[in-house]
Amino acid sequence: MFDDFFNVVKLRFNGGDEDEVPTFKCPRCQSPVPMSRYEELHRVCPNCNYHGRLPARERIAITADKESFREFDADMISCDPIDFPDYTEKQKELRQKTGLNDAVVTGIANIRGITTVIGVMDPNYMMGSMGSVVGEKIARAFEYATENGLPVVLFTASGGARMQEGIVSLMQMAKTSGAVKLHSDNGGLYITVLTDPTTGGVTASFASLGDIIIAEPKILIGFAGRRVIESTMKQRLPEDFQLAEFMQEKGFVDMIVERKRMRATLAHLLELHGYKGKEV
Partner 1 sequence: MEEKKTAWERLKLVHTKGRPTIRDYIPLIFNDFYEMHGDRFYGDDKAVIGGIAMLDGTPVTVIAQVKGRDIDENKACNFAMPLPEGYRKALRLAKQAEKFHRPVICFIDTPGAYAGVAAEERGQGEAIARNIAEFMTLRTPIISIVLGEGGSGGALALGVCDELAMLENAQYSVISPRGFASILWKDAEREEEACNIMKITAEDMVSLGVAESIIEEPLGGAHNDLDKISENIKEYLLCKIPEKCEKDIDVLLKERYTKFRKIGEFTE
CA dihedral 191, 69, 76, 102 (to 10 degrees): 60
* Residue 224 contact among partner 1, Zn ion, none, beta carbon within 5 to 8 Å by kind: partner 1
Measure the N-to-C terminal CA separation of the chain; round to a whole number of Å: 53
Cis peptide before 197 (omega within 30 of 0): yes
Residue 239 within binding range of partner 1, rule CB under 8 A: no
CB of 116 to Zn ion, least distance (A): 31
Inter-residue contact 180 to 213 (CB < 8 Å): no
Question: Which one among 5, 21, 42, 47 touches Zn ion, defined by CB under 5 A?
Answer: 47
Question: Which one among 29, 224, 229, 256 touches Zn ion, defined by CB under 5 A?
Answer: 29
Question: Which one among 233, 234, 239, 279 touches partner 1, defined by CB under 8 A?
Answer: 233
Stretch that binds Zn ion, among 6-14, 39-47, 121-129, 223-231 (CB under 5 A): 39-47
Residue among 47 and 88 whose Cβ is closer to Zn ion: 47
Residue 250 within binding range of Zn ion, rule CB under 5 A: no
Question: Which one among 24, 32, 59, 80 touches partner 1, defined by CB under 8 A?
Answer: 80
Residue among 109 and 194 whose Cβ is closer to partner 1: 194
State the binding string over 137-166 for partner 1 (x if CB under 8 A, else -): --x---------------------x-xxxx
Touching partner 1, residues 171-230 (CB under 8 A): 171-175, 177-182, 184-185, 200-201, 203-209, 222-225, 228-229
User: Over the range 224-249, which residues count as b (16 or more CB within 10 Å of their CB) and which as e?
Assistant: ebeeeeeeeeeeeeeeeebbbebbbe
Identify the helix (H) or strand (E) that includes residue 162.
none
Residue among 49 and 184 whose Cβ is closer to Zn ion: 49
Per the DSSP assignment, residues forming a β-bridge with 158 are 198
Q: Which DSSP string do the residues of 180-225 spell out, in sequence order?
A: HHHHHHTT--EEEEEEEEE-HHHHTTGGG--SEEEE-TT-BB-SS-
- Which are the contacts of 244, defined by CB distance < 8 A and separation ≥ 6? 194, 215, 216, 217, 218, 219, 221, 253, 256
Residue 241 within binding range of partner 1, rule CB under 8 A: yes
Stretch that binds Zn ion, among 25-33, 87-95, 218-226, 261-269 (CB under 5 A): 25-33
Which residues contact Zn ion by CB under 5 A?
26, 28-29, 45, 47-48, 50
